[in-house]
Structure 1
Amino acid sequence: MQHLSFERPIITLGSWLQTPLGSYVRAWEQTRLDALTSDIFGFNALQVGMPQIDALRANRMPNKWLSDIRVPVDGDEARPPVVVVHDFAELPFASQSLDLVILPHVLEFATEPHQVLREVERVLIPEGQVIICGFNPASMWGARQVTGRLSGANFLPQHAEFISMPRIKDWMKLLDLGVNRGYFGCYAPPFRREKWLNRFSFMEAAGERWWPYLGAVYMVQAIKRVKGMRLIGPAWTQRSAQMPQGMPATNKIRRVK
């Protein structure tokens, strides 16, 4: 398998996603992404990284791409066309050309996550949307990761720098990306074994009700706002409204011209 260089070994996330913990996270994110993207319309959509899930599976846009840092090989599952990049902070798309961009756990592995987010803002059209997935440091899983690093036994991918949802919202606000929705999920305790994760599956419903901000992962949806933009009617509407009421229709048309 051929890989392109990247600022941090984001590829280690792929191996972690094959574990029972990773499967648990992928299942929740896939379900939530299917629900969110099915009602987003447009022409061009992009998923940046994490080919282990099909973030655009439920979306109905005619043009969909997956931007990744590796060349696809035989045996890979069917996905949208892959756009291979060296750096997610330099997307090979024109400014204001995409209706939807999805960043699943990309910012956590980027050396300059602000620049990645600025690049996403650049390629989005006005009123375009971005969806970001991330690990929640203010959770039981986040606390387990902190203690694991002290002992040298990482619970989550070791090369990631986890970013809280409030911090992501602050970054988006600076880029005029208005947060529309936010979700938390994966409330099971930090177990590594699948049987224990399954036994505590009841905590999904309980967590959403009683401690909604302590989910192990989160998802943020935002819309690109452009200051000063407003819809206006045709120019002739105001002019025709100012004409005398008794003027014949033919004269009205001549004056408009």
Structure 2
Amino acid sequence: MDSAASGKSIIALDSWLQTPAGVYVRDWEQRRLDELTADIFGYNAVQIGTPLVDALAASRMPHKWLADTVLRPAGSAGASARPVALTLDAGELPFASQSMDLVVLPHVLEYAAEPHQVLREVERVLIPEGQLIICGFNPHSLWGLRQVTARVTGNRYLPEAGEFISMPRLKDWLKLLNMGVSHSHFGCYAPACRTEHWLKRYAFMDRAGPRSWPYFGAVYMVQAIKRVKGMRLIGPAWSRKSAKAPVAVPATNKHKEHG
């Protein structure tokens, strides 16, 4: 997927997230994100993309930023009530290496032109023992099956995306970057319904799903920790850091760092 197609898909996702099914997904993700981020300590946290989801609402970190991957006019479908600190390319993050305690990627990887590069950049900017949270659509679900059949019928349920990434595949990618998965969750077990009425009719599936078919939720959330070989932290890493905003790194300097 090129950058132009990626931008169009992200805009389509904005509109879809305001449909009854999109609100259903956002409600589940907001609850899980609030639970996870409330217990992650540090100084600097950034959410990249999907501003309709307030991923850092429950975070107690003193410095929290919302970054977006597309420029959205005020009042547009995907515009957030929170101020967007900067617009960036997720594959070239303008943050210093080891400057972030927490990075959240809500539905960024499946719409990224190079998801591997996005993860490499996130690993670079995270401090040792820093944490990453990823939200994604599960291709191994009723919604994923509907998306596959839509290639034939043309009747799409989810916005068109470059690639939906399964959780096992994502875990393999993270492992290659020395990112250890600490928690994973599946949610939204209702079939691919378009109306609030029918989504509520299938609410019993959300209660039974985690016990009966736990890996077939329409969306998932993965929490991972950056591991550094040969390093042992004594006490929380954030207790030894200064509370300074991350310093932007010019692209030329970043290439030198990679070298």
TM-score (structure 2 length as normaliser): 0.84
CA offset at residue 230 of structure 1? 2.0
Aligned twin of 1:104: 106
Matched, 1:84 2:87: yes
Moved more, 149-158 or 126-135: 149-158
Aligned twin of 1:248: none
Aligned twin of 1:42: 42
Closer, same or farther in 2 for the Cα pair 1:149/1:7, shift >3 Å?
closer
Question: Which residues of 2 match residues 159-174 of structure 1 at below 5 A?
Answer: 159-174=161-176
Closer, same or farther in 2 for the Cα pair 1:99/1:122, shift >3 Å?
same
Structure 2 letter corresponding to 1:82? A
2:208 to 206, 209, 224: 206
Aligned twin of 1:255: none
Identity, in percent, stands at 67
Matched, 1:119 2:121: yes
Closer, same or farther in 2 for the Cα pair 1:231/1:131, shift >3 Å?
closer
Separation in 1, partners of 2:51, 2:112: 17
Question: Which residues of 2 match residues 47-86 of structure 1 at below 5 A?
Answer: 47-71=47-71, 73-75=73-75, 76-79=79-82, 81-85=84-88
Aligned twin of 1:249: none
Separation in 2, partners of 1:39, 1:200: 31
**Alpha-carbon displacement from aligned partner over 1:35-64 (angstroms, at most 9, x marks no partner):** 100010100000010001100000011111
**Alpha-carbon displacement from aligned partner over 1:204-240 (angstroms, at most 9, x marks no partner):** 11001110000000000000000000257xxxxxxxx
How many pairs align?
A: 227
2:156 to 154, 157, 180: 154
Closer, same or farther in 2 for the Cα pair 1:77/1:135, shift >3 Å?
closer
Closer, same or farther in 2 for the Cα pair 1:24/1:160, shift >3 Å?
farther
SS in 2 for 1:132: strand
**RMSD over aligned Cα atoms:** 1.5
Question: Which residues of 2 match residues 167-186 of structure 1 at below 5 A?
Answer: 167-186=169-188
SS in 1 for 2:55: coil
Contact 2:137 2:219 in 1 (8 A): yes
**Alpha-carbon displacement from aligned partner over 1:184-213 (angstroms, at most 9, x marks no partner):** 000001111110001111111100111000
SS in 2 for 1:213: coil
Contact 2:68 2:84 in 1 (8 A): no
SS in 2 for 1:212: coil
Separation in 2, partners of 1:84, 1:58: 23
Contact 1:177 1:224 in 2 (8 A): yes
Q: Which has the larger radius of gyration?
A: 1
